[in-house]
A and B are shown apart, each in its own frame.
Chain A
Amino acid sequence: MKGQALRPDRLLDPSWRPVARELYESVGDPPLVCPHGHVDPSPLADLGATLGTPAELFIIPDHHVYRMHYRQGIAMEDLGTTRRCADVSAWTRARTYQWPLTGRVGFVPS
């Protein structure tokens, strides 16, 4: 499946896009203020930590991603969300469902 590039004006309404873009650019690239979160803090504190496998980075910690995979019949165990160890073949299989799974704007119940 071909990757989809991020559009620079994503989420900005065409009716007032120049104004929205000017505001967005005026904010710049500010530091992130994160007073609350659920990310495991130990890798943040460990200078030797790595990002892990793709599954550990993108699937296991993201409940929105793995619930939609589960909905398509991929077992939690195969995704590694219960035993904290991902099955690479399940991840490869999951990619074939990329848009139906994670295109979260408007769920289509089936």
Chain B
Amino acid sequence: MNEFGNNPNFRLVTFALDESAHSWGLAPMAGYYPALLLGAPWWFFDSPLGMRRYLDSVMETAGLYNTAGFNDDTRAFASIPACHDVWCRITCDWLAGTVVTGVVDEENARDMARQFAYGFARRAYGLKQDPVGRA
């Protein structure tokens, strides 16, 4: 990171099996190096409680806009939309907590919700074209 962390042609998305590594190590780095985006802690991330822990433990330090969005990581075709829906519900629920406590206003929260749902992932992986919508 000393060498490439500020290079505009470099992007690193980090993942870790140990979810605690995110809060003490990776989150502050993602909140500093422009090249770094914080990815998901696999395994803990594909469950509602895991998602809540992730949001609580890293967003304040890393900064929500320095994260890489959602990866469903599923093996089962039928669960792809279900995983994304759970993530959307959990992130909206988490954002609602910040709204009612006066940390984030409604307009910013709506943008954050859209970014969580698909904007961050498109940006992280350089998906420039609009995704194919549902029929």
Q: Which residues of A contact B (CB under 8 A)?
A: 10-13, 15-17, 19-24, 26-27, 29-39, 43-44, 51, 57-58, 61-65, 104-105
Contacts and interface: CB of A to CB of B under 8 A. Distances in A.
Interface of B: 46-49, 69-81, 84, 86, 88-90, 92-93, 95-97, 99-100, 106, 109-110, 113-114, 117-118, 121-122, 124-125, 127, 130-134
25 contacts: A11-B90, A12-B89, A12-B92, A13-B97, A16-B93, A19-B96, A19-B100, A19-B106, A20-B89, A23-B113, A26-B114, A27-B114, A31-B134, A33-B127, A37-B73, A38-B73, A39-B74, A39-B76, A43-B77, A44-B77, A57-B77, A57-B78, A61-B75, A62-B74, A65-B76
A30 B96 CA distance: 19
Contacts of A20: 89, 92-93, 95-96
Contacts of A58: 76, 78
A59 to B, nearest CB: 9
Contacts of A63: 75
A12 B89 CA distance: 7
Contacts of A16: 93, 96-97, 99-100
For the residues of B in contact with A, the DSSP-based class is helix
B54 to A, nearest CB: 15
B80 A24 contact: no
